Amino acid sequence: MASASSTLIYYSPSSLTPNPRHFPIRRKHLAVSCASTFDPPPTNHSPPAPSPPPATATIHNIRDEARRHRQAHTFSAKYVPFGCDFNASESYSLDEIVYRSRSGGLLDVQHDMDALKKFDGAYWKNLFDSRVGKTTWPYGSGVWSKKEWVLPGIDSDHIVSAFEGNSNLFWAERFGKQFLGMDDLWVKHCGISHTGSFKDLGMTVLVSQVNRLCKMDRPLVGVGCASTGDTSAALSAYCAAAGIPSIVFLPADKISMAQLVQPIANGAFVLSIDTDFDGCMKLIREVTAELPIYLANSLNSLRLEGQKTAAVEILQQFDWEVPDWVIVPGGNLGNIYAFYKGFKMCHELGLVDRIPRLVCAQAANANPLYLYYKSGWKDFKAVKANNTFASAIQIGDPVSIDRAVYALKHSDGIVEEATEEELMDAMAQADSTGMFICPHTGVALTALTKLRNSGVIAPTDRTVVVSTAHGLKFTQSKIDYHSNDIPDMACRYANPPVQVKADFGSVMDVLKDYLQKN
């Protein structure tokens, strides 16, 4: 372990060339030892045999047990310019700190598909299914149960996981039948996760890789992100678990209190900045280009490797049957590509015979992708995002615009939008049928309603709506709606409490009136 402070030479994230600037840093949080062995899947075509019970005299925890069963493997992954395959002439190790290609474009994590194809689809299905619900480290996680498809080269000792994923695929029976005339509507509750949003799926991967880099003594002093709330919650929690400093740029007065308190409680260094998300994103990119702070936003394609596992999980939950439609809320637009990538990987490796059609749903107050789609993909323009109750997707200049367009074009996809009143009404309708969703899910449900009404989605189509965050993060918006306290909004499904005197007669009168109406 280093002493209280030391000096490092920083290597630029974009070029990895020496930068003559020196930074005094504190290293007390960062371990510097690194193991060199990896733990891949079995080398035959059947699911792995159950591990023998641990010998209590020598095995103390699930990490110790995992070390006993390491095996050699030939799987690998690396960064390549977005749109290129594994054999691209320009590529980077995942151990390099690099976010853009030499031309300034996006990077993508590509896997050695030839190595993965040595195992057939039945093998992968059996392997993934055998890990669900187990406590075997790290495979009890919905993300790390697909470790070979995520970060095949990372040692399990370096993984930082809260056993995220494995989230509920909820049959929205009443909502589907009552409001849409559908019998096969499902809601993937990604918000039922460690920090209450789908961002955990990507952050466990990114922070695990940072943990690996720290133990390789790479020059990093922390991890930073710009956030509309959920990214900062996930980053701060996983960094806290690993003992790695986290730095968060938040737009002042533009996120819910529940979202703000999470990084604070997890010990992040939080900067509340007088700008919007796009302004915060510009600043964090400038800062991470100058300081040895690892960038955690979805510009970093490591995050998408974790997020794509939600698509694989949906297929697992349908016993490897493919839904007709998957609808995803879109802000910075990395998630729609992540879902495409997960479905595409399952198709390419023989687990399924097709991929679903994708829909990206945007708030009308922050809808650059929708406008681009309506122009026939001819003229993309960033917009100034206006305030929306779907605050996590209040983004006017999305980093992953190219990824989203690629995913939609290759899945015969559609983009829809939702006004503020539409998304809040949809949220209230869903809540009235037993869900408790976020406003962003209201955006996705609005898109579904419009596509059902226009006949694009048939009543018999199996449809999955991705719910990105837990409704408890957005209680104030629900309070305002049900209090009829939102200017210029009818709040048609408001359900405020009834004030009644504390006597039997008054209570009976109110109850009789209610029962007669229902």
Q: What is the DSSP string of 427-447?
A: HHHHHHTT--B-HHHHHHHHH
Cα–Cα distance measured from residue 46 to residue 8, given in angstroms and rounded to the nearest whole number: 48
| Average pLDDT of the residues of the chain | 88
Tens-place pLDDT, residues 423-475: 999 999 999 999 999 999 999 999 999 999 999 999 999 999 999 999 999 99
If you count DSSP H runs as helices and E runs as strands, how many of each does the chain have, helices first? 18, 14
Phi-psi region of 423 (alpha: psi -120 to 50; beta: other; left: phi over 0): alpha
Q: Which pLDDT does position 68 carry in this prediction?
A: 59
Least confident of 41-45, 59-63, 71-75, 225-229: 41-45
pLDDT confidence of residue 318 = 98
User: Could you tell me which residues come within 8 angstroms of residue 514 by beta carbon, excluding any fewer than 6 positions away?
Assistant: none
Which residues partner with 200 through β-bridges? none
**What digits encode the pLDDT tens for the residues 338-369?**
999 999 999 999 999 999 999 999 999 999 99
Q: How far, in Å, CA of 258 to CA of 476, rounded?
A: 9
506-510: Cβ within 8 A, 24+ apart: none
Residue 36 has pLDDT above 90, yes or no: no
Is the Cα torsion angle 19, 25, 31, 33 positive or negative in sign? Answer: positive
Comparing CA positions, the residue from 287, 208, 235, 206 lying closest to residue 13 is 287
How distant, in Å, are the alpha carbons of 243, 263, 282, 357 from that of 260? 20, 6, 20, 35
pLDDT in tens, 282-327: 999 999 989 999 999 878 999 999 999 999 999 999 999 999 999 9
**Beta strands at 293-295 and 222-226: parallel, antiparallel or unpaired:** parallel
Structural element, H or E, at residue 186: strand 185-189
CA distance 440 to 467: 7
